[in-house]
Amino acid sequence: MKFTSLKAMAFATATSALALVSSAANAEVEIEYWQYFFDARVEAMEQLIENFEAENPDITVTMTHFPYADYRTKVAAAIPAGEGPDVVQLFYGWLNDYKAASLIQPLPTDAFPADQIDSDFFPMVSAMREGDNYWALPTAVRSLALFYNTRLLEEAGIDGPPGTLDEMLEIGAQLTERDGAGNITQAGLTMGMTAQDHHWFREGLVRQFGGEPYLDDYRTVNYNTPEGIEAMEFYVGLGEEGGIGAIGFMEEPQAAFKAGRAGMHIDGSFRIGSLNNTRGLEWGVTELPATADGMRSNYSSYWVNAITTKAEGEKYEAAVKFMQYITSDEAMQIWLDVVGELPAKPSVGLTEANASNETFGPFIRGLEYANTTKFVNESAQRQFLIDAVERVKLEGMSVADSVAIAAEAEQELLDDFYASN
């Protein structure tokens, strides 16, 4: 009995050892994926990682996320030190910065043939191409639309959302409430260049007022024109006395809308998942308002994934496989369902079911008349417009003078960038 027991123990030990060896062989490669924290994005990526690991049991993907405010700093510090992500998510407008800092490497042409990508993805994605190489690819693209609080509209006796800018002003006035001191307690429309309004101004309002925000493939600032100034006067007027909004109301525009304290809110399709999880909020969404003669304009953007310069050898091969999966049709549909961002391939996004969806449809239709700003430094270019509005609001500067300062500063940034690249 003793011999048998020892024999059994030896067999069990050997079996366990073999199992460990086998397990190690099947999970030898571990790669890291980084993105900024946004609840719906994290949830979607968790699903994608689970699916990928099921099909690739020899690869483990560890996801790390950071607050948006810290994200770029964390990435910039980790990769040069040989730490951090093997695959990283970045805003398309940061691509030049990431390339210049040697944070990412081009995608291999055998796995990501450029001409095939040109054919399969929406045209805006071609901004990620340089020569025969793509440097990064999105899972999803996005556009802007007008969210509205259905309960507030119904209580005000309003039949539906606005179709034009004039109707937006009329409905916004009906929804705006103020206290005895004249301070807004309920906004008709949220405001804030810190959020998506700087995109709405550039690619929406400037064009709708007859202008063009940039010339020469976005190398020349062109919103310091009568049309651009008129567009800014319209925007600033939304928050003036008797207007329908207020910059800084509840600090963040989306916070006011989610709290039920704003009737309308311009935002991206990525906000859908978050709004769906907001208890008690009843909302709908429609296309951005048109001009009186029906002219519409929109802004499209996207976040991309790229392979970092840290990824080498087996980790590089695993990163390529992971990139292929998270840019697949399956991944794009999951991202749409969970996050609300639109598939980066027309073959996935423009299905009848997606295009006719009452939630996704306005964003998908918005892509048909959208433009994508080619940023060289998105954060800085956003700040120029934030400052432009603040000079008018806080210093009493004229809109024309403030826009001129913003345009001059942005042009200097563009000139410096293109002179050195």
Give the per-residue pLDDT at 123.
Answer: 85
The Cα–Cα gap between 137 and 95 comes to 11
Q: What is the per-residue pLDDT for 2? A: 36
21 within domain boundaries: no
Torsion angles phi and psi, residue 104, rounded to 5: -130, 165
Nearest CA to 62 out of 70, 71, 52, 76 is that of 52
How far from 11 is each of 21, 23, 227, CA to CA, in Å?
15, 18, 83
> What letter would DSSP give residue 204?
I
Token digits of residue 191? 């405001």
pLDDT number for residue 93: 84
Q: Which of 370, 387, 407 is the last residue of a domain?
A: 370
Q: Token digits for 95?
A: 């691509």
SS3 315: helix
Asked, for residue 83, whether it belongs to a domain, the answer is yes
* In-domain check, residue 406: yes
pLDDT at 27: 55
- Kindly state the helix (H) or strand (E) to which residue 189 belongs, with its residue range: strand 184-189
pLDDT at 8 over 60: no
153 and 249, same domain (yes or no): yes
pLDDT single digits (tens) 269-284: 888 888 988 999 999 9
- Asked, for residue 33, whether it belongs to a domain, the answer is yes
CATH of the domain at 109: 3.40.190.10
Residue 234, in any domain of the structure:
yes
Full residue range of the structural domain in which residue 93 is found = 29-141+301-370
- pLDDT tens per residue, range 286-326: 999 999 999 999 999 999 999 999 999 999 999 999 999 99
Please say which residue of 336, 355, 370 terminates a domain: 370
Number of independent structural domains in the chain = 2
- Quick check: is 291 in a domain? yes
Per-residue pLDDT of 84-138, as tens digits, reads: 999 999 999 889 889 999 999 999 999 999 999 999 998 889 889 999 999 999 9
Point out the domain boundary residue: 370, 389, 409.
370
Radius of gyration of the chain measured on its C-alpha atoms: 25
Residue 366: inside a domain, yes or no?
yes
Residues 362 and 402 both lie in one domain = no
Pair 232, 129 in one domain: no
The answer to whether position 328 is within a domain reads yes
Cβ partners under 8 Å of residue 289, min gap 6: 146, 162, 163, 164, 165, 167, 168
Residues 149 and 288 both lie in one domain = yes
pTM of the model: 0.79
Residue type, position 258, single letter: K
Assess whether 150 and 271 both reside in one domain: yes
More confident residue, 26 or 81: 81
pLDDT value, residue 156: 96
